[in-house]
Amino acid sequence: MKKSRAPAITVAVLLVGGCVAPFAISSFHTFQLTQILIYAIALLGLNLLTGYSGQISLGHGAFYGIGAYAAAILLDHAWLPYWATIPVAGAVCFAVGFGFGLPALRLEGPYLALATFALAIATPQILKHDALEKWTGGVQGILLDKPEPPGLLAGPLDADQWLYFLCLVFVVVSYVIGWNLVRGRTGRALIAIRDQPIAAAAMGIDTALYKSTTFGLSAMYTGVAGALGALLTGFVSPDSFTILVSINFLVGVVVGGMASILGNLFGALFIVIVPNIASDISESAPWAIYGALLILIMILMPRGFAGMVRAVAARRG
Amino acid sequence: MEGFLHQLLLGLASGSIYGGVALALVMIFKATHHVNFAQGELAMFTTYISWSLIQAGAPYWVAFALTLGGAFLLGSLIQVAIVRRVQHAPVLTVVIVFIGLLIILNSLAGWLFGHTTIDFPSPFPADAWYGSAYFSPHEVGMTVVTLATLALVYAFFRYTRLGLAMRAAALNPASSRLVGIRVDRMLALGWGFASLLGAVAGMMAAPIVFLEPNMMVGILVYAFAAALLGGIENPWGAPIGGFIVGVMENLAGAYVVGTQIKLAVALFIIVAVLVFKPSGLFGRRSVVRV
Amino acid sequence: MSAILELRRVDASYGPVAVLQSIDLTVEKGEVVALLGANGAGKTTTLRAVSNMMVRTGGEIRLADQRIDGLATERIARLGVAHVPEGRGTFEALTVEENLQLGSYVRRDRDVGRDLARVYGYFSVLAERRRQQAGTLSGGEQQMLAIARALMLRPRLLLLDEPSFGLAPLVVQKIFGILGAINRDATRAPACCWSSRTPGSPSSWPGTPLSSRPGGWS
């Protein structure tokens, strides 16, 4: 099997570029780039579910929101320093995802879509609810302070850049873990379950456990992204985590191309940048332009950006 | 007790709308194995068209009929121009296309017709004889119209030649081609019919929920739930699922505070049911031979 | 030209896999031929090529004097080619009668009802089960249904892909007996091209056996 060095080179280039970028661009663009990195982690989570497990989720916005709120609540009550809230948020989301996955894994296709949709609808309602207002801040939400760079780095980096690099580190770590997960036994088991569930079960793979664990891991990644997102925007409120977030994530995963790191990055880029482009094209009906672009891209690249790259590479090779 | 009965009947009335849209969803699912998330927006858009016709002076039922024709054309056109181009693409790709359609229709409606809430007329006069304390004339008329439509659709598929061909095309496209059925054309017709059903549901719902670009969003969610509850492959399940969802929604709304929460509650109950019956109440678990 | 079907230098492939290379085949009007050969000889591929199903073809395929290569499958069916595929292609969720009605879907003439009665006459077991769901029929009954459905088209050419596959010898004999009777009774019986793996074809309906050779079936 011929090993192409193109992916490795691409990754190296992106990493170098990524490290240099915040010093070369404005604060706002650093903010946008950070948002892209955060979404890249969120999309990795969703991709784990849809790309490798072949299941659909319309509810990942809920995990993003739960992760964000977990971090916000911990920070707001000063129980943990900001950097510690992130793994805790991840753990919380893992538990929620695993717990949700257990009953939900009996459902397939559109039925599973509805169940995850219900989760996405319910989460903002629960967050708004009076009973939890003491913790969640109700409709108003919670305001957060932007994390400052630690003493040593306070000179060369401002707060925006520090957060950017923090997210960059998380992206690299998430992707390395994710890559190993997918390439190893777990990944093969997941693919087996996706493609031939009956045979997989017959071979002794505990399908239920794997499926729930996948849900949990998927939720965990997106929850970590949510926590980082909370730190970036500086506040959380129930209405920031509506079903639109879930739909946005799904768009990102499909447009980027499933089961591909490059695809994830492209997808994250797409969902951050393209709505802005659509607004530039049309003041009065930007969403119509966005919708048209979505359809056009899906017709031209049915397997997403990554799919198109693979097709081009296959034709050349 | 009286209040409960009232809620029950109201639930049945709104349930007929959910059932109508659910049937449109089931139709397209049976033909293509895709859930058409844009169904609601299509219904909303065609309702705006009927409103424009009424504003231009057309009598209600003339506008109604013309809108049905327009909806049929629009649905078929969308299938031919857009959906057909991704019919062999992966499932999620098609989902995104439907989301794109949803967004376009919603945005276009707002742009063309504005975002202000509109009072859509009801063809059933407020003082009609068939109204009562429990059921307004429109609610009665709406239920009758929707049930009549469902009956016509059933009869069409069961007793007509074209209906049989469309069923065949959905069941087994390859064999259908071998008997000479133009499968592509059947799919376009299927979309046309589904769109027509949606238009009926939209025009019946508008007097109650008021015409505005987001009017069908909530209805679509309930219709989706209703279709799944009834079993997504089962046309009979759709109206029954619709009634169940309608009643559940109303009861939840009456006894649980808040309209948003009631959506979450209703959905969770439905999902709980699905966990025990993963193919819906009337769906058939397809036995897969290994 | 009395040939109803003519293949001239036809290639057929599934994607990059070439199965038929420049083959010829001729079937006369009303003639019955049997394509015999082992697995992989190209029997199914030949029949599929005629109906333009799942294969890419090169070369010329003519139905009577009309070129049909490249036409859509449903168009070819409308021209009078009834193809019973491998696996029979029954509409399992529909009733027996609905399956037969679909067979005559493209016909506009008034003899449809008479043909239905005749078909029920030949295949009496189908008449008994006319309201039953097709998927609940036995293998032999489904094969009869598939053939009956094909006959409802009043085809000029009947293509049967492995009609004896998976059926008990007695059932096969029965089916071929009926086909033989149809062939003798009808004034304008369709030409028929059927395929089988076994060289020993039931003698009640032999047709002209052909085997695969380089360059075609002879």
C178-188 pLDDT, tens digit per residue, is 888 877 776 67
Residue B31 lies in a domain: yes
Question: Is residue B287 very low, low, confident or very high in pLDDT (cuts 50, 70, 90)?
Answer: very low
Residue A136 lies in a domain: yes
Task: Between A225 and C69, name the one with better pLDDT.
Answer: A225
What pLDDT score was predicted for residue B176? 95
pLDDT tens digits, one per residue of A203-224? 776 777 878 888 899 999 999 9
Q: Is the distance from CB of B274 to CB of A115 less than 8 angstroms? A: yes
Task: Between C209 and B282, name the one with better pLDDT.
Answer: B282
Residue A52 lies in a domain: yes
- If you average pLDDT over residues B260-287, what whole number do you get? 76
Q: A touches which chains (3+ CB pairs under 8 A)?
A: B
A chain contacts of residue B95, beta-carbon cutoff 8 Å: 56, 250, 254
Task: Between A30 and B259, name the one with better pLDDT.
Answer: A30
When the pLDDT of each residue in chain C is averaged and rounded to a whole number, the result is 85
Q: C touches which chains (3+ CB pairs under 8 A)?
A: B
Count structural domains, chain B: 1
Could you give phi then psi for residue A300, rounded to 5 degrees?
-80, -35
Which residue in B has a C-alpha nearest to residue A304's C-alpha?
Answer: B93
List the domain range (segments joined by +) for residue A192: 27-241
- If you average pLDDT over residues B63-71, what whole number do you get? 96
- Check A117 against B92: CB less than 8 A apart: no
In whole angstroms, what is the distance from residue C78 CA to residue C36 CA?
Answer: 27
- Check C74 against B171: CB less than 8 A apart: no
Q: How far is B150 from chain C (nearest CA, A)?
A: 21
CB-based contact, C155 to chain B, within 8 Å: no
ipTM here: 0.90
A chain contacts of residue B232, beta-carbon cutoff 8 Å: 110-111
pLDDT at residue B284 is higher than 70: no
Question: Is residue B288 very low, low, confident or very high in pLDDT (cuts 50, 70, 90)?
Answer: very low
Distance between first and last Cα of chain C: 19
Q: Is A260 helix (H, G, I), strand (E, B) or coil?
A: coil
Task: Between A245 and C203, name the one with better pLDDT.
Answer: A245
In whole angstroms, what is the distance from residue A103 CA to residue A54 CA?
Answer: 17
pLDDT tens digits, one per residue of A62-71? 999 999 999 9
What pLDDT score was predicted for residue B286? 52
Residue A124 lies in a domain: yes
List the domain range (segments joined by +) for residue B148: 2-213
Which residue in C has a C-alpha nearest to residue B170's C-alpha?
Answer: C91
Q: What is the DSSP letter of C68?
A: -
Q: Is B50 helix (H, G, I), strand (E, B) or coil?
A: helix
In whole angstroms, what is the distance from residue A88 CA to residue A101 CA?
Answer: 20
Question: Is residue C200 very low, low, confident or very high in pLDDT (cuts 50, 70, 90)?
Answer: low
Q: Is the distance from CB of A72 to CB of A142 less than 8 angstroms? A: yes
Residue B127 lies in a domain: yes
Residue A14 lies in a domain: no
Count structural domains, chain A: 1
Helices (H), A129-184: 133-136, 159-183
Q: How far is B61 from chain A (nearest CA, A)?
A: 31
What pLDDT score was predicted for residue C204? 46
C chain contacts of residue B167, beta-carbon cutoff 8 Å: 94
B and A: touch, per 3+ CB pairs < 8 A?
yes
pLDDT tens digits, one per residue of A244-272? 899 999 999 999 988 778 888 899 999 99
pLDDT at residue C212 is higher than 70: no
Please name each of the domains of chain C with its CATH number.
3-93+156-217 (3.40.50.300)
Write the residue in A110, A251, A302 that is nearest to B86 by C-beta: A302
Residue A91 lies in a domain: yes
Helices (H), C23-168: 43-51, 73-78, 96-103, 112-122, 124-128, 139-151
Write the residue in C72, C91, C98 that is nearest to B175 by C-beta: C91
